[in-house]
Each structure stands twice: as structure tokens, then as C-alpha cells.
């Protein structure tokens, strides 16, 4: 069949959950056997969110092909299992850069370059995804209707609606507030949001009403009448116990069926989605709790979104509820670390950039190592575990990362006063640009058989992208996503191995250390890569599964 296009927009306020709704639509269509992709168009001028402060934008999610993207792509992957690429994340900055580069190259034959048609044409080209064949392309547009930044995207959607005819539908997500003093739900904001959308030439086909209170049919009929939308196409998105209940709630109300009818495709039988329901049943039945400390510097839930979700998913599959406690690494000292980490069954030492809070992470690593508390260090967290080990086991009290040194001296042995156990790759040393200059995306890693890490990956189902595969020489190989600039300094590898910290994961092409672990500890593992990016609802990441199991066993 011809590719069908679903545009998801939002109104009234931001943070209503367009990403969750887009991911839910994708999940429901996949369950019906369609080939689907989901993409996010963000109206900010940054080329990508890689240089954005997590306090402003939450975590930066990385695709397998090395694109730094919006965190909503994490929702897409966790819900659907689809592996996204750089084509799934577009910003205004990328659009304008492409058009300007073409203008400089002379591709427009001397024409005056304007928002319409040149910018909108480039937006349309990327929305259509003509280079690949899909049954459905779901396009979420960031921001809120009425934002100046979103105007070119809305114009592109308006044009595509006319050009594509019945092959395109618009799903508009709005907010229905509850006024406690009046004890009433108010639809006026929704009416105004739809009116704003109509003023741009776009009539929504389906309305998803975000609400904290149940809407009766009378309320839905009122919205349908005032907004020129069929009653069956007015769906409510109530607060649910878990975001993973949303696809089931949308299916129950017939959102996927309404989309198919609008496009002119026979609805057929409703798919059972048994694995998803089995997961939800496990989630509801989990009664025991496991408490995990998240040692980082960003006191914002979205800053470590994928880690939090990976922990929650692994907990559910281990039949426990994961209770996550944020521990600000800036506040950790040798005097208070015991009190701060008290009661934690396990500790995650979080990734991050910059100097702020790293000494607190080193203090946490020393405490958990010396007290044999299950510990999982991710990216910068792994590097802090390496530095702590050098200082307190190898005896290098001056051990540090090159990132910490200003000015930047050479490593030990070349006139430096420091042991840079975490250093730059040679090709990185002359780079001055910030964005997109790190080791990004998926890289292979050979595992040492018999290690805890190898055993964890051995438990993954062979049908999943996380399963072990065998290299040409029979090596156990995995592939994981990276986002970092600094590396384990191989000059010290033998010393670490001899002292008990084993390098059990090595990149075969560059001979870079990817994973360290201390076998004598119950669970003390650090990964240079970000395993949280690969964890999905139906296939939780094996390292998180193993970590949570170790935390549970320690509390038994």
C-alpha cells in the first residue's frame, strides 16, 4: 500500500505527552502488522540537543548511527523496539543548515531563498521519508501550537495534508484542565487550541484530550461538536499508573481503529498484544521493593530518563518495584556518604559532563567498592570508578582524567605531575569544537568469557539485538551505543588487571577498554557505553537485569 502519514501536534501547554502518544500509536500499528517508523521534529535552532543543558531539555538520547537526539526517541524505541537513526530526529537548525549549504553551493540558481517554499520544502522532504518504504510514518512536532518557531512545520503539514489527501491524518493532543474551586472540567482551552490550528489551515482528524479526571460522553460530544471532529475520534488520555498502560488505554478507546478508518484501511480484528499485557501483569503483581541510589548532579527526572526506565523495566522482570532515590554527587563527602547511601540495595554512578560533582562520584565509588554494594557505573560513572581504584588501590593519589586538568598537561611519563588514567584518544586531542565530536553511536565490544558481564549477556534471548554474537575467531561480541570523548588509558591496563579490576570488554578495532569489573565483588561493573539506550519494554537490558538481581539477592 502507499505510505500513510500521521502528524502529531500539541496545544494549550507543553509536556502533555506527545511522545508517549506517538509511541503508543506506533506500538498499536506494529501490533497490526504494519511497518512503522516514528520521527521527531524539534523547532529549536540547535543542530541537535547534544550541547543543551539537561535541566533545559532532559537527557540526550543517542541513536545507533551516532545522532544525538531528543529523549522522545527513547520512548519510541522502548515502546516499539524500532531502532531509530539520525533520520528520525530533525531540528530547525538542521533544516536551515541544509538549505543554507545548498544556497552556498549554488543549488538554487540565484533565486531568493525564503521560508516558503525553500524551508518548508526541506521540511516536507524529510517528513515524507522517500528514501525508505514504510506503511506508516508518524511525525511528532515539538512545541505548542501558536509558537513562532513551529510555524514553518505547521505550514509544511498544511501543504502535505492537501497533497497527500486521505493518506495523511492529523492527531492533535490538547489539555482539559480541572478547576477544583468550580469542580468542573474546562474544554475552552481545547477549543482555542483547535481554532489556532484551523487558522493555520489544518483541521485535526483526531483529538487526544489529556486529562487528570475522566471525561464522560457528554464532554466528549461537546468537544467533537465545537471542534468539527467525529465523536469516535475524540479520545481521552487520563493519568495512568504507568506510561506503559497508555497503549492499552488508547487501544481500548479505538485510537488505532479511528486512524485506520480515517485513512480508509479496513480495521479488522483488534490485536491481542499478549506479550505487552503479560508485562503489565508482572508490573501490577510486583510487590517487593528494591531501593536504588542514583548518584548524579542533575536533580531532574528527565536528565536520566533512560536509566530510570531501564531500572524500572529490569525491576518488573525481576518481580520487584524499583524505588529510585536521587543522590546529588555535589553534596557527597567522606563524612556523609554512609548516611546518604544508607538503605540502598545498589548504586548507579551516572554519566555526565564537566567537573561539577565528579569528586562526589569518586567518593561514592570508594564507599560501594569497600562495602561491597552492587554498583553500576555508566560512561563518566565508569571513569570515576577507574580513577577511584587508581587512587585507593593502585596508590596513585593524583590519578585523574585529562578533562579535569587545566591547563592540559601530558600524561604521566611525559613530564606531567598527574596520572591520567582517563585520557583522550590521539585523534581527539586537537579538536576544539564541542558538538558532535565524541565517540557516538554503536561500536562492537568483545567480552571476556567467564566474566559477570559475559554471563549477563548470555541470558539475553537470541532473537534480540542485545544477544551475544560470535566474531570471526569465535569471540563473544556485543554492540552498544556510546557518547563520550575520554577513554581508559591503556598504559595502565596491566596494573589494573594485576590489582583486581579486570578489563572484560574491549573494542576490537581500537583496542579501547569498554567494560571493567571487579570479579571478587558481588556486582561492581562499569561500562564506557550507555546500555540504557538499548533497553525496551519487551527486551530489558541484560546488564540492568543482572544488576537488579544482584541487588535483590543481597537483600534476601
The domain ranges of the chain are 4-276, 286-555
Q: What is the pLDDT of residues 93-110, one digit of tens each?
A: 999 999 999 999 999 888
Rounded Cα–Cα distance for residues 453 and 544 (Å): 11
A 10 A CB-CB count for 492 gives 25
> CATH second-level architecture of 286-555?
3-Layer(aba) Sandwich (3.40)
- For residue 437, what pLDDT is reported? 64
- For residue 429, what pLDDT is reported? 55
What does the mean pLDDT of the chain come to? Answer: 91
Strand ranges in 19-147 using DSSP code E only, listed in sequence order: 36-42, 61-62, 68-69, 89-91, 136-141
- For residue 418, what pLDDT is reported? 78
Same fold, 4-276 and 286-555: yes
Cβ(27)–Cβ(247) below 8 Å: yes
Rounded Cα–Cα distance for residues 385 and 517 (Å): 10
Does 130 score more than 50 pLDDT?
Answer: yes
Q: What is the pLDDT of residues 265-324, one digit of tens each?
A: 999 999 999 999 999 999 999 989 999 999 999 888 889 999 999 999 999 999 999 999
* pLDDT band at 432; cut points 50, 70, 90: very low
> Degrees (nearest 5) of the Cα angle 437, 377, 374?
170
Rounded Cα–Cα distance for residues 526 and 248 (Å): 36
Closest CA to 255 of 278, 235, 282: 235
In Å, how far are 8, 177, 250, 358 from 204, measured between CA atoms? 10, 20, 17, 48
Rounded Cα–Cα distance for residues 210 and 22 (Å): 14
Q: Max Cα separation, the chain?
A: 78
- For residue 129, what pLDDT is reported? 83
Residue indicated by cell numbers 523496539:
81
In Å, how far are 98, 102, 103, 113, 211 from 110, measured between CA atoms? 16, 11, 8, 9, 51
Which residues on adjacent β-strands are paired with residue 502?
517
Is 1 exposed, middle or buried (CB count within 10 Å of its CB: 0-12, 13-18, 19+)? exposed
Q: Catalytic annotation on 379?
A: yes
Does 415 score more than 70 pLDDT?
Answer: no
* pLDDT band at 401; cut points 50, 70, 90: confident
Q: Catalytic annotation on 530?
A: yes
Which comes out higher in pLDDT, residue 431 or 3? Answer: 3
Percent of the chain residues past pLDDT 70, beyond the cut: 94
In the structure, how many helices (H) and strands (E) does the chain have? Answer: 18, 24
Out of 118, 172, 484, 530, which one is annotated catalytic? 530
- For residue 14, what pLDDT is reported? 84
Rounded Cα–Cα distance for residues 533 and 310 (Å): 8
Superfamily of domain 4-276 in the CATH hierarchy: P-loop containing nucleotide triphosphate hydrolases (3.40.50.300)
- For residue 80, what pLDDT is reported? 96
A 10 A CB-CB count for 233 gives 22
Out of 227, 379, 420, 503, which one is annotated catalytic? 379
Beta pairing, strands 320-328 & 469-470 = unpaired
- For residue 409, what pLDDT is reported? 47
- For residue 427, what pLDDT is reported? 55
3-state class (DSSP) for residue 263: helix
- For residue 555, what pLDDT is reported? 62
Rounded Cα–Cα distance for residues 484 and 369 (Å): 24
Is 237 exposed, middle or buried (CB count within 10 Å of its CB: 0-12, 13-18, 19+)? buried
Rounded Cα–Cα distance for residues 273 and 251 (Å): 10
Cβ(452)–Cβ(473) below 8 Å: no
Rounded Cα–Cα distance for residues 522 and 166 (Å): 58
Q: What is the pLDDT of residues 484-528, one digit of tens each?
A: 989 999 999 999 999 999 999 999 999 999 999 999 999 999 999
Cβ(307)–Cβ(532) below 8 Å: yes
- For residue 221, what pLDDT is reported? 96
Q: Catalytic annotation on 532?
A: yes
Would you state the torsion angle of the CA atoms of residues 333, 336, 341, 342, taken in this order, to the nearest 10 degrees? 170
- For residue 527, what pLDDT is reported? 98
Out of 503, 532, 539, 541, which one is annotated catalytic? 532
Rounded Cα–Cα distance for residues 254 and 175 (Å): 19
Rounded Cα–Cα distance for residues 364 and 348 (Å): 10
And the C-alpha cell for 507?
573494542
In Å, how far are 7, 250, 480 from 265, measured between CA atoms? 17, 18, 38
Q: What is the pLDDT of residues 191-242, one digit of tens each?
A: 999 999 999 999 999 999 999 999 999 999 999 999 999 999 999 999 999 9
Residues 6+ apart with CB under 8 A from 60: 48, 49, 50, 52, 54, 68, 69, 71, 483
Amino acid at each position: 500500500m502507499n505510505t500513510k502519514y500521521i502528524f502529531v501536534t500539541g496545544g494549550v501547554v507543553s509536556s502533555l505527552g506527545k511522545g508517549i502518544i506517538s509511541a503508543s500509536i506506533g506500538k498499536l500499528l506494529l501490533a497490526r502488522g504494519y511497518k512503522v517508523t516514528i520521527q521527531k521534529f524539534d523547532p529549536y535552532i540547535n543542530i541537535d540537543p547534544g550541547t543543551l543543558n539537561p535541566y533545559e531539555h532532559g537527557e540526550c538520547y543517542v541513536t545507533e548511527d551516532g545522532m544525538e537526539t531528543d529523549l522522545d526517541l527513547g520512548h519510541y524505541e522502548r515502546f516499539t523496539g524500532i531502532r531509530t537513526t539520525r533520520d528520525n530526529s530533525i531540528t530547525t537548525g538542521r533544516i536551515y543548515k541544509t538549505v543554507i549549504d545548498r544556497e552556498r553551493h549554488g543549488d538554487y540558481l540565484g533565486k531568493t531563498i525564503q521560508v516558503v517554499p525553500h524551508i518548508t520544502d526541506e521540511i516536507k522532504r524529510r517528513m515524507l521519508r522517500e528514501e525508505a518504504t514504510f506503511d506508516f510514518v508518524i511525525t511528532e512536532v515539538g512545541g505548542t501550537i501558536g509558537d513562532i518557531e513551529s510555524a514553518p512545520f505547521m505550514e509544511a503539514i498544511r501543504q502535505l495534508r492537501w497533497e497527500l489527501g486521505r493518506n495523511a491524518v492529523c492527531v492533535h493532543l490538547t489539555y482539559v484542565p480541572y478547576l477544583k474551586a468550580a469542580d468542573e472540567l474546562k474544554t475552552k482551552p481545547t477549543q482555542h487550541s483547535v481554532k489556532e490550528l484551523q487558522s493555520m489551515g489544518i483541521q485535526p482528524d483526531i483529538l487526544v484530550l489529556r486529562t487528570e479526571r475522566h471525561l464522560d460522553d457528554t464532554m466528549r460530544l461537546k468537544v467533537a461538536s465545537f471542534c468539527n471532529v467525529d465523536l469516535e475520534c475524540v479520545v481521552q488520555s487520563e493519568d495512568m499508573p504507568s506510561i506503559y498502560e497508555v497503549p492499552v488505554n488508547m487501544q481500548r478507546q479505538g485510537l488505532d481503529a479511528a486512524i485506520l478508518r480515517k485513512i480508509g484501511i479496513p480495521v479488522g480484528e483488534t490485536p491481542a498484544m499478549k506479550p505487552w499485557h503479560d508485562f503489565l501483569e508482572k508490573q501490577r503483581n510486583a510487590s517487593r521493593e528494591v531501593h536504588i541510589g542514583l548518584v548524579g548532579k542533575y536533580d531532574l527526572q528527565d536528565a536520566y530518563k533512560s536509566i530510570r526506565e531501564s531500572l524500572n523495566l529490569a525491576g518488573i522482570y525481576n518481580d520487584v518495584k524499583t524505588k529510585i532515590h536521587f543522590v546529588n554527587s555535589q553534596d557527597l563527602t567522606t563524612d556523609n556518604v554512609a548516611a546518604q547511601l544508607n538503605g540502598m540495595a545498589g548504586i548507579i554512578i551516572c554519566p555526565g559532563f564537566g567537573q561539577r560533582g565528579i569528586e562526589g562520584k569518586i567518593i561514592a565509588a570508594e564507599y560501594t567498592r569497600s562495602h561491597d554494594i552492587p554498583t553500576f557505573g555508566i560512561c563518566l560513572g565508569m571513569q570515576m570508578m577507574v580513577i577511584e581504584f587508581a587512587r585507593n588501590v593502585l596508590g596513585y593519589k593524583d590519578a585523574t582524567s585529562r578533562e579535569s586538568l587545566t591547563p592540559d598537561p601530558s600524561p604521566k611519563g611525559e613530564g606531567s605531575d598527574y596520572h591520567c588514567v582517563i585520557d583522550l584518544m590521539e585523534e581527539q586531542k586537537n579538536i576544539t569544537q564541542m558538538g558532535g565530536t565524541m565517540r557516538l553511536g554503536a561500536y562492537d565490544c568483545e567480552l571476556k568469557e567467564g566474566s559477570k558481564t559475559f554471563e549477563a549477556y548470555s541470558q539475553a534471548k537470541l532473537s534480540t539485538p542485545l544477544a551475544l554474537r560470535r566474531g570471526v575467531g569465535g569471540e563473544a561480541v556485543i554492540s552498544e551505543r556510546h557518547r563520550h570523548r575520554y577513554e581508559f588509558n591503556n598504559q595502565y591496563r596491566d596494573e589494573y588487571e594485576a590489582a583486581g579490576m579486570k578489563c572484560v570488554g574491549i573494542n576490537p578495532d581500537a583496542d579501547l577498554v569498554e567494560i571493567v569489573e571487579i570479579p571478587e565483588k558481588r556486582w561492581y561493573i562499569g561500562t564506557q557505553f550507555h546500555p540504557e539506550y538499548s533497553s525496551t519494554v519487551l527486551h530489558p537490558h541484560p546488564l540492568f537485569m543482572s544488576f537488579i538481581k544482584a541487588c535483590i539477592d543481597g537483600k534476601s
